[in-house]
Amino acid sequence: MDNKSVVVGILIFTLLILGAIVFAYGKQTSKTESIPQYQFSDAEKPAVMAEPASFDFGSIALKDIKKTTFTLENTGAQPLILSDVVTSCGCTSANIIINGETSPTFSMHDNPQWSGTIESNQTALVEVTYDAKVHPVDGLVERFVQIATNDPAQPQVQLSVKANVAK
């Protein structure tokens, strides 16, 4: 191998590394750049309201799978963007329904890239499923669904489900 081949090889390798860095950086920042951000002091901004913020399934058996639905309303003047949905345990999953379209399923370990928009004075539904047998616990449990928003007063919405599980 001559010196010219080595130099060309090093140059190609360097360009590939630089390309990979630019690609990774672009993927990392593109999501946050596309979500409009607001300040608390802005006159017109999105505002999220969760109803209810918590739900109690009561006493359930370990074999039970329970579901409930929460409502998120945009009471603000600008579009509310939801993203980065995650649950606190593998036994809990969530889907968000906006204008009849259902998001992918989110859980503790499965968090697909997704964002949804709730227009001013509109609502979305958050369907939460708790499957007690996935993470068997005897007694009181509380699990959470966390959703990022562009509401400057509430950048994270946390919804909770509770149950008293009997083995």
pTM: 0.79
Residues β-bridged to residue 91: none
Residues β-bridged to residue 92: 130
**pLDDT over 90 at 43, yes or no:** no
Residue in this structure with the two tokens 């309303």, named with its chain if needed: 73
Looking at the structure, give the CATH architecture of the domain made up of residues 48-166.
Answer: Sandwich (2.60)
Query: What ranges do the domains of the chain cover?
Result: 48-166
Least confident of 35-39, 63-67, 159-163: 35-39
How deeply is 23 buried, as exposed, middle or buried, from its count of CB atoms within 10 A (0-12, 13-18, 19+)? exposed
**pLDDT over 60 at 40, yes or no:** yes
**pLDDT over 80 at 52, yes or no:** yes
Work out the angle at residue 20's Cα, subtended by the Cα atoms of residues 16 and 25, and round it to the nearest 5 degrees: 150
**pLDDT over 80 at 95, yes or no:** yes
Averaged pLDDT, 65-90: 97
pLDDT, greater one: 6 or 117: 117
Q: What is the pLDDT of residue 22?
A: 47
Q: What is the DSSP letter of 121?
A: T
